[in-house]
Amino acid sequence: MNKFTYIILGDNMNNLPNVSAFPIEKELHNSQERFYGIGSELVNNKPVNVIAKINHIFASNNHVYKSRVRIKTKDDLLERTIVGKTSTDLLTLSGDKIRIIDILDIDRI
C-alpha cells in the first residue's frame, strides 16, 4: 500500500458516518413487467391481448371514423390511421391491410 492510499483510507476510516438501512418486508415485483434488453430497447414480457386492444380502440368515444395508432409487429414499428377491421385484417386510410395475427402490440397515438 502506498502513502496516498493509506492517507485516504487509513485516516478517514474512523470518521465515516453511520448508515441505517431498513429491512424491506414486502415482496417486490418491480422488474417483471418491463426490462431493458438489447440496444436499450424497452421490452415488455407481459402478454398483450391484441384483439381486446383493437376492440377497445374501435369502441372508444374518440374513434368516430379513424384512429391514429402505433402498431408493433415482429419486423416493424408502424404509425398508421386505421378506419376499419375484418376478422383477419386492420384496414388503413391509405388502403393497406395489416394482418392482425402479425401484430404484437397496438396503441392509440
- Could you give the number of structural domains in the chain? 1
Q: Is residue 98 part of a domain?
A: yes
| Among the listed residues 58, 45, 60, the one whose alpha carbon sits nearest the alpha carbon of residue 105 | 45
pLDDT tens string 1-37 = 455 444 455 555 667 677 777 887 887 766 555 555 5
97-99 vs 42-44, strand pairing mode: unpaired
Q: What is the number of other CB atoms lying within 10 angstroms of the CB of residue 82?
A: 22
Q: Is residue 6 part of a domain?
A: no
SS3 of 9, please?
Answer: helix
Q: Is residue 95 over pLDDT 90?
A: yes
Look at 38 and 107; give whichever has higher pLDDT: 107
Structural domain span for residue 82: 46-108
Q: Is residue 10 part of a domain?
A: no
Which CATH number fits the domain that encloses residue 85? 2.30.30
Q: Is residue 27 part of a domain?
A: no
Q: Is residue 97 over pLDDT 60?
A: yes
Q: With bands split at pLDDT 50, 70 and 90, how would you rate the model's confidence at 45? A: low
Q: Which three cell numbers stand for residue 31?
A: 422488474
DSSP state letter for 30: T
pLDDT tens string 28-42 = 766 555 555 555 555
Check: CB of residue 58 under 8 Å from CB of residue 85. yes
Output the pLDDT for position 86: 93
Give the residue carrying C-alpha cell 417486490. 28
